Amino acid sequence: MSTTPCRVVVLISGSGSNLQALIDGQHNGSLAINIEAVISNRADAFGLERATKASIPAEAIEHKNFLDRDSFDQALIQKIESYKPDLVVLAGFMRILTSDFVRQYSGRLLNIHPSLLPKYQGLHTHQRALDAKDDIHGVTVHFVTEELDGGPPIIQAIVPVLENDTVDTLSKRIQVQEHIIYPMAVNWFANKRLSVNENQVLLDKEPLPVNGHQIDSRD
């Protein structure tokens, strides 16, 4: 186990409840991380207030002030690099990243996506699961690759879809699981237990199943 905490930069666009789960884990000592900075592409993201309250540098780099995706991502890289992170965590960061960005952080860039990938890449995942009358839905933490929502899963939480579920009730139940599995995956990385080799995720040097480690909240 490493002794110096893993240097983490968290990227957000909104509420930052997953960020809060990481802040809480850092503060209560359950996560071997130090969140060096929180960066948002929206100045009004509530997650920036959460960071400030926790005395973490909080910065906004607004994508709307840039001419194109490439110049925004280059500015983002420059800002992230100033914090020398070991790990970059996307926590509700609602921007498509350029290949340059993804390559820069290859093997140390994590995302959380609200579906059981590879099902429902992209947006409106809860509505799509309800429309399809799925029995189960869930959330995935994965390494980010150049394929949107296509990187190899690390951990998934399975959540039942209940008869009277709405997007609101389902997403609330899923967020409870998000706040469990994201800190778990981040801590595996921080403790150097997690790696990825050509789309194969290894935990303690053993290959994980193709859908990652699975937690079933119905158990």
Residues with catalytic function: 113
**Minimum CB distance to ligand GAR smaller for 32 or for 144:** 144
- Residue, CB closest to ligand GAR: 92
Phi, psi for 191 (deg, rounded to 5):
-90, 15
Cα separation, 171 vs 168, in Å, equals 5
Neighbouring-strand partners of residue 195: 202
Tokens of 135: 């029995």
Min separation Cβ 4 and ligand GAR, Å = 26
Cα separation, 214 vs 83, in Å, equals 32
Cα separation, 75 vs 78, in Å, equals 5
Cβ-proximal residues to 43 (8 Å cutoff; 6+ apart), any chain: 60, 62
Residues lying near ligand GAR in the complex (CB under 6 A) are found at 12, 14-18, 47, 91-92, 112-114, 139, 175, 178
Min separation Cβ 74 and ligand GAR, Å = 22
Tokens of 202: 């290894």
Tokens of 198: 């050509």
User: Taking a C-beta distance cutoff of 8 angstroms, is the pair 183, 21 a contact?
Assistant: yes
**Minimum CB distance to ligand GAR smaller for 32 or for 170:** 170
Place of tokens 């790990």: 87
Count how many Cα atoms sit within 13 Å of the Cα of residue 129 in the half-sphere of its side chain.
33
Min separation Cβ 117 and ligand GAR, Å = 10
Min separation Cβ 5 and ligand GAR, Å = 21
**Minimum CB distance to ligand GAR smaller for 172 or for 192:** 172
**Minimum CB distance to ligand GAR smaller for 14 or for 57:** 14
User: Taking a C-beta distance cutoff of 8 angstroms, is the pair 125, 113 a contact?
Assistant: yes
**Minimum CB distance to ligand GAR smaller for 1 or for 23:** 23
Phi, psi for 12 (deg, rounded to 5):
-135, 170
